[in-house]
Chains A and B, each alone.
Chain A
Amino acid sequence: MTKVVASTPLDLASATSGHPSLAVRTFKNLRKCLDWAWLDIVCQYRRSKIGPLWETINVLVLTLGITVVASAVFGGGAPADLIGYVGLGIITWSLISSSILEGASTFVRNASYITSTNLSIDLYVGRTIFKTFLVFCHHFMLYALALVTGFVSLSWTSPLALFGLLLLILNSYWMATFLAFVCARYRDVEIIIRNLLQLAFFVTPVFWDYHRIADDRQFIVDYNVFFYFIEIVRGPLLGELPPLRYYVVVLAVTLIGYGLAFLVYRRMRRQLAFYV
């Protein structure tokens, strides 16, 4: 095969694998990303005694602390009633925020690979997404703990959370791709995002009960896509069926997002090595 000017790292990397079908290649790439992400986690916690369990403990402490405060400040009864809501909120939120933040810095962090190898760039995005997912899995052990201790109970809606999670991860992939390109080119964007995400954590009903919002501020909940994302995972696990509207909006965001990511990819991928 011969490649003319349009030869890109992507083409070269696919050429090395001898052109298997798209499905096989996608699966192989996912496997590569998972293994890479796994190695990242192993390396990150290699010198720690309990390793990635720290992630779990962090979230546990945060949840306990915020639950105590939130139940006192925002009302809503005993902390025990609120803990499932707050905990799942924080767990889901950290998946969203770390996908966005780590996604945004993906290409900058992988600069040495990008400028010295011809690996295909989707590997870097996949590496980041799988890493945030693996961390999420460690967080999610708390849900199992809460099930055992009876703070939350299984309901017939629970399996629907898997669908919500799938949607969430699908979305984190385009967000990471989009932001990774933009933030590699425009370094200020990452700082702005960091700032806005902090704000979004408080604006979105992650740890405060969305039923209790004042009527004239109802729009904060109604038009908040982050809230939809959280609710399609948290709602079913707490036995509430999220309104169909949430799913429709999330699916629309997914489609628009992938369109956006594709545009940015097509425009910026050849220049990527110059950006980083």
Chain B
Amino acid sequence: MVHIHVKNIDVKIPIYDANAQRLIRLPTFGLARVGSRSISHAGSAVVIHALNDVSLDLNEGDRVCLIGHNGAGKTTLLRVLAGIYPPSAGTIQVTGKVIALLGNSIALNSDATGYENIRLLAELYNWPKKNLPDYIKDIEEFTELGEYLSLPARVYSAGMHARLCFSIATMRSPDILLMDEGIGNIDAQFQEKAHKRVDQFVSQAKIMLLASHSVELCRAMCNKALLLSNGRQIYFGDMDEAFKRYAYGTS
């Protein structure tokens, strides 16, 4: 049974830059609105309170979009669920195989070709070797990148990156798929395909979390929404209601 159970988690991110202390005293800082209340001093260090008291219960079939301002804590929440950030308080239970697609990519090796990246990630993620040719063929068809797959990943556009990463991440239907803004770079035609694939794997009882600013993308891919603001959970549930509150908050 795949589920995510998050209870009252806090995440505090310590900033270790030697100059962070000085930075924070810049006079203009009082004008900053993006997450400004969430920074504090702990002794000599600067700490960002990225998430405050977030609770979440997700079960099979839940496709949740995370919405909120830049710096609201969307990616942080995904990182916590992926096990990349440890929560400083609260409990978290994640059951199932997690694939995280964060940042702009699953960190493609930019000097390696598309094919080399596929083979590398296939090995790192323990894909069965004997099926690899099938997987590669599937990815070729799905991404429609054609000859670009033989070129180094550094020549890819943001959208091509997103296509390749999305198809690798969803190739073997993970139990839990975590994606953030990078995926917003895909075009409408690929969104359609991505939507179909997500539908397909959610029909196999899976969970997906997607952080995005694109209302269209969220509507196409998700069935629930979580609204975050300043690291706090404002609303969780129906998507229309969440977007209404989000729009209300911004205006």
A114-B84, A185-B16, A273-B79 in contact; A5/B92 too (CB < 8 A)? yes
Label chain A's interface by main secondary structure. Answer: helix
A1-45 at interface with B (beta carbon < 8 Å): 1-5, 7-9, 11-12, 15-18, 28, 31-32, 35-36, 39-40, 42-44
Kindly report which residue of chain A lies nearest to residue B116, judged by CB atoms: A39
Assembly CA distance A44 to B110 (angstroms): 11
* Segment at the interface with A among B117-125, B190-198, B205-213, B225-233: B117-125
B89-105 at interface with A (beta carbon < 8 Å): 90-95, 97-98, 100-103, 105
Q: Contact at B83–A274, with CB atoms within 8 Å?
A: no
Residues of A within 8 A of B123 (CB): 31-32, 35-36
A5-B91, A273-B79 in contact; A16/B84 too (CB < 8 A)? no
Q: Contact at A270–B86, with CB atoms within 8 Å?
A: yes
Q: Contact at B107–A7, with CB atoms within 8 Å?
A: no
B61 within 8 A of A: no
Assembly CA distance A11 to B93 (angstroms): 12
A positions within 8 Å CB-CB of B: 1-5, 7-9, 11-12, 15-18, 28, 31-32, 35-36, 39-40, 42-44, 46, 112-119, 123, 185, 270-271, 273-275
Q: Contact at B83–A46, with CB atoms within 8 Å?
A: no
A-B pairs with beta carbons under 8 A, tally: 101
Assembly CA distance A16 to B16 (angstroms): 32
Assembly CA distance A115 to B120 (angstroms): 18
Assembly CA distance A274 to B14 (angstroms): 7
The contact of B95 among A2, A113, A114, by CB within 8 Å, is A2
The contact of B124 among A1, A119, A275, by CB within 8 Å, is A119
Q: Contact at B103–A115, with CB atoms within 8 Å?
A: yes
A116-B103, A118-B82 in contact; A3/B97 too (CB < 8 A)? no
Kindly report which residue of chain B lies nearest to residue A113, judged by CB atoms: B107
Q: Contact at B102–A8, with CB atoms within 8 Å?
A: no
B13 within 8 A of A: yes
Q: Contact at B107–A116, with CB atoms within 8 Å?
A: yes
With a 10 A CB-CB cut-off, give which of A8, A39, A40 has the most chain B CB atoms.
Answer: A39
Residues of A within 8 A of B103 (CB): 112, 115-116
With a 10 A CB-CB cut-off, give which of B13, B92, B106, B107 has the most chain A CB atoms.
Answer: B107
Q: Contact at B83–A9, with CB atoms within 8 Å?
A: yes
The contact of A16 among B79, B94, B107, B125, by CB within 8 Å, is B125
Residues of B within 8 A of A15 (CB): 97
B186 within 8 A of A: no
B109 within 8 A of A: yes
A43-B111, A273-B84 in contact; A4/B98 too (CB < 8 A)? no
B126 within 8 A of A: yes
Residues of B within 8 A of A116 (CB): 84, 100-103, 105-107
Q: Contact at B94–A3, with CB atoms within 8 Å?
A: yes
Assembly CA distance A40 to B92 (angstroms): 36
Q: List 12 A-B contacts (CB under 8 A).
A: A1-B95, A5-B86, A7-B94, A8-B83, A9-B83, A17-B126, A46-B152, A114-B84, A115-B79, A116-B103, A271-B86, A274-B14
